[in-house]
Amino acid sequence: MILATSVDLAHSIPRQLEETVRSPTVQENNTPYDGRFTFARLRYGGRLTGQNFRGRRGRDAGWAHDYPRAERNFMNILRETTLIRPFMDGGNIFVMDDPELTRYPLAYLSEPGFWYPSDSEVEGLRNYLLKGGFLIADDFNGRDWLNFDAQMKK
């Protein structure tokens, strides 16, 4: 009976958990701006991860954590709880000094404990925020807030 229950549990792993374990493919090109609300994820290098999608020990780089699941979930929630009709077929990935970023009202920064922006990225993010951009910083662990705070003070 215990063995049968263990087997049943092993086969009932949700698809979301399987997606977390597998390495998703990062889209090559951003979707051209067409005025619709589109998820904008910020890509950053770091002392440990560089600009790559894969980080240390094969884990996803901090900027890519939960990609593309976070995009899908956020846009579904936005569509279901507001009158906004967002772009539902993915999101865009920007470096912080990309001038295109200013076309997107909301930017998502994942795992900022591993974020060490260059001077041009600091300037780009500052300009984005001063022009009214809104930043969601997500997924803090332990002392990550200290790094995020230090980088934001630049």
Contact present, 106 and 59 (Cβ < 8 Å)? no
Tokens of 64: 């890519």
Q: What is the mean pLDDT of each run of 10 residues along the chain (154 residues)?
A: 46 42 61 95 70 49 91 97 95 96 98 95 98 96 94 96
Give CA–CA dist 67/24, Å, rounded. 7
Question: Which sequence spans correspond to the domains of the chain?
Answer: 38-152
Q: What is the pLDDT of residue 23?
A: 43
Give CA–CA dist 113/140, Å, rounded. 7
